[in-house]
A and B are shown apart, each in its own frame.
Chain A
């Protein structure tokens, strides 16, 4: 019983830490996005709250907490309440299998603890994909339960888009899975150790460059970001599926969108860019005689890779206009899907003949 209690306490601590990190990252992202977009458009971004506007996320959070919570007349009250939660939980639950740092263990009271991953399940990638698809339910139900035509259209668009592009995400990952020989993110990351030429983006015999391009484009589409933000197209659908949402429920959708961005960036970093591995063999900390602090360097590298993907999201948003709906579908099914399938065939042949 004590062992169970200890395990529970350790797991809850880890979950709390990861949730905290993700929420802080989302706070940073909301500010960083506005700042980066502003700088790219010769503006300043938020400047009023705190020095250079750095306290803006907290002001936004307080504002969202105290806003009136409106349920529109004729809305399905139960589904209207459940939808934001259905959207938020899948976005957060995927972080359980992301390895944040080196695969090391230590013992606490006879229990082996892996500090940098909540649970290393052997179907990690499948688990993330499964829950990412469940997030679509929240969007569709939110759109339907609002009793508004804009919400409904946004929800339907989002359903079609997420289902189309999730296929490409799944297929683009298969190449990496063939190379890694595992579905566990920890094992895949471990297999990429020892310099950037071992990363699956560049690794012989089958560099996954095309797979990364397909994955990045599809994940942008899957998280409903510009240029694939048709579900919440401001100029057409007011705000898409969360038109009728206000206050904390809107904040849930908002949080889910940004948590999804962080999640797909983490997955991209772990699968294609070697996760927490440094681009050179070993670590500098181990080289200068501090191997016990190597995890700091490794987690920093993971953060750098994740944030560079997130910057790419902002960069695309500042650059590209929105696609038309038929362009979106044609691009997904006629361009990305054949590339992803071809990548699987090439990778499989390369691995079969050269490994």
Chain B
């Protein structure tokens, strides 16, 4: 190619840079400066753990009220909100109280969960919570198919302070707190 030959003039400066390996020396200076100012960014993970942010979205859990009753009313909204089809809810009436429903079975396939938190947002009674657990590596992935008891247990160990069951709430009526989410709490 004649054009490249003409543009490639003998530039004394460039030529000197080439034969003295100038660019390579610049690179080697960079690596050496990192060696001399040794400040590793490594976190020695199992021995030291980083502080998690306040809104960390970790393992999902089912919650209870302070009197030990489950919050979940079996409305299936979490199942509808989930983009990965993690959740499966089998809803049923409470046997003695025909107006009240609960989740008879509640399954989560955590192999598919992407921790978006949309189920938590969708829940009308705040029955779902995201814990700060993240070390859930297992040898058998069937151990990540969680049932209701397991999810409640995660909630029990991660949320020791439980929400108070409101007095005005009739035990037979599910209390939907969606409308009251942005209302400042009553002074008691």
Contact = CB atoms under 8 A, between A and B. Distances in A.
A316 B34 CA distance: 14
B35 A39 contact: yes
A320 B40 contact: no
Given A41-B34, A42-B34, A319 B39 contact: no
A293 interface: no
B28 interface: yes
B147 interface: no
Interface in B10-37: 24, 27-28, 30-32, 34-35
B23 to A, nearest CB: 10
B44 interface: yes
A239 B24 CA distance: 26
Contacts of B169: none
A8 interface: no
B180 interface: no
B31 A44 contact: no
A40 B34 CA distance: 5
B2 interface: no
B41 interface: yes
Contact of A40 (B24, B31, B42, B44): B31
6 contacts: A36-B35, A38-B40, A315-B28, A315-B31, A319-B31, A320-B24
Interface in A306-351: 315-316, 318-320
B38 interface: yes
**Residue among B35, B39, B42, B44 with max Cβ neighbours from chain A (10 Å):** B35
**The 4 A-B residue pairs with the shortest CB-CB distance in the complex, in nearest-first order:** A40-B31, A44-B42, A319-B27, A318-B31
Nearest to A213: B21
B28 A42 contact: no
Contact of A42 (B32, B39, B44): B39
Given A40-B35, A43-B42, A319-B31, 11 more contacts: A36-B35, A39-B34, A39-B35, A40-B34, A42-B40, A42-B41, A43-B40, A318-B31, A319-B27, A319-B30, A320-B27
Contact of B32 (A40, A43, A47): A40
Interface in A35-58: 36, 38-44, 47
Given A320-B24, A320-B27, A315 B40 contact: no
A233 to B, nearest CB: 20
Nearest to A316: B28
Contacts of A316: 28
Contacts, number: 38
B28 A319 contact: yes
Nearest to A40: B31
Contacts of A38: 40
Interface string A18-38: 000000000000000000101
Nearest to A210: B19
A44 B47 CA distance: 14
A220 to B, nearest CB: 12
A318 B24 CA distance: 12
A53 to B, nearest CB: 11
A320 B38 CA distance: 20
Interface string A257-286: 000000000000000000000000000000
Contacts of A44: 40, 42, 44
Contacts of A36: 35
Contacts of A41: 31, 34
Contacts of B40: 38-39, 42-44
Contacts of A39: 34-35, 38, 40
Nearest to A339: B19
Contacts of B42: 42-44, 47
A319 B21 CA distance: 13
Contacts of B24: 319-320
Contacts of B34: 39-42
B39 to A, nearest CB: 7
A42 B38 CA distance: 7
A41 B38 CA distance: 9
